[in-house]
Amino acid sequence: MKFYEMGIVLKHPWDQVVQSFWQRYPNPYSKHVLTEDTVQREVVSGKLRSIRFLTKTGQGPRWADKFVPHSLVGIIEESIVDPKTQTLTTYTRNIGYSKIVSITEKVEYHQDPTNPQQTIVQRKAWIESQFHIGTLRRPIEAFIYDRFKKNCTKASNGFQWVLSKMWTKEPVTPPVILNDIALEAARRATTIASHANVRLSS
Amino acid sequence: MNSVSEACSQLKQNYDACFNTWFTEKFLRGDHSTDSCGPFFKVYRECVRKAIQEQNIDLKEIEKEVMGTENEFKTPDGSK
């Protein structure tokens, strides 16, 4: 299994990010996302829990295509919006194509406690192949891992595009990618802030 | 965006429009009591669930909760 972690900063307050989250498709970077539906939604203890189902065109190596009946991938997206802590957490996994590879992703969007105009995004991913031809598992994981990293950039750019379109009249600036040190500092700041139950105005 | 089934697209649009307004004007402002989108969601959701089953997609798997359970993946250092 391969584990991947990265962070970015979106130059918008959390309130804007969370509203844009539901409207991030379509965007110029999301041609591979075909459908989007909400299958479950309820407010539980002041938090909004949703389950959405999306379909995307398959993105595996070409030689793997003959092992799947069609090239569509189903994505299940669970999410929790907590307006008290100003956190949006999502957990996505694929069905269909899972005979080739499983990609599971957890993303946390927090209001930046040091800057009311920014949101910190922490992304974690687990990539695992249980392909029946054992010797191909590692090459599949490596291929998907590389493709996944590129797709993270596309996804971030797409989301940033939607944010700019919804909230600003300025040209789109790409989100800032956090290096390990900055990511760790951001993580610590967010933990301290949520323990102190600080609520920032946006 | 399209729905998984063409038959549900209009219902989806109606629901999404209602939800986005409710989310901004009620939920984010702390008002969790009113749910004026319930009727829209009910009919849209039924349409989608039916379409998913008709397309032989595993509806049980889709509606299963994994986040927040012990089945959620952990990072290499053991945290979530």
pLDDT digits (tens, 9 = 90+) for B15-26: 999 999 999 999
- Of A157, A116, A145, give the one whose Cα is nearest residue A30: A157
Let me know if residue B30 belongs to a domain: yes
Does residue B74 sit within a domain? Answer: no
Contact flag A33-B2 (C-beta cutoff 8 Å): no
In b/e form, how buried is each residue of A74-94, taking b as 16+ CB within 10 angstroms? bbbbbbbbbbebbbbbbbbbb
Residue A106 within any structural domain of the chain = yes
B4 and A37 within 8 Å at the Cβ level: the answer is yes
What are the pLDDT digits (tens) for B46-66? Answer: 999 999 999 999 999 999 999
Domains: count for chain A: 1
Give me the helix-helix angle, B9-25 and B38-54, nearest 10°. Answer: 140
pTM: 0.86
Nearest CA in chain B to A80: B67
Q: Which band of pLDDT confidence, cut at 50, 70 and 90, is reported for residue A65?
A: low
The CATH number covering residue A48 comes to: 3.30.530.20
Rounded to an integer, what distance in angstroms lies between the CA atom of residue B78 and that of residue B80? Answer: 7
Q: Do B4 and A53 touch (CB under 8 A)?
A: yes
**How do residues A12-54 score in pLDDT, each as one tens digit?**
999 999 999 999 999 999 998 999 999 999 999 999 999 999 9
Whether A49 is in a domain gets the answer yes
Say if A178 is an interface residue toward chain B (CB within 8 Å).
no
Q: Is residue A128 part of a domain?
A: yes
pLDDT score recorded for residue A197: 47
pLDDT higher than 70, residue A69:
no
**B63–A51: do the CB atoms touch at under 8 Å?**
yes
Is the pLDDT at A201 greater than 80? The verdict is no
Residue contact A39–B45, C-beta within 8 A: yes
Selection from B67, B3, B10, B22 nearest residue A38 by Cα: B3
pLDDT, residue B80, reads: 77
Position A190 in a domain = no
Nearest CA in chain B to A52: B62
pLDDT at A174: 67
Structural domain harbouring B11: 6-63
- Please check the confidence at residue A89 and state whether its pLDDT lies above 80: yes
Instruction: Tally the domains of chain B.
Output: 1
Q: Residue A196 falls within a domain, yes or no?
A: no
In the chain, the amino acid numbered A53 is F
**Looking at the domain assignment, is residue B77 inside a domain?**
no
Look at residue A184 and tell me if it is in a domain: no
B12: in domain: yes
> d(Cα A113, Cα A102) in Å, to the nearest integer?
34
Q: Is the peptide bond before A26 cis (omega within 30 degrees of 0)?
A: yes
What confidence tier does A198 reach under pLDDT thresholds 50, 70, 90?
very low
User: Comparing A99 with A176, which gets the higher pLDDT?
Assistant: A99
Residue pairs spanning A and B at CB distance below 8 A = 92
Mean pLDDT across A144-173: 87
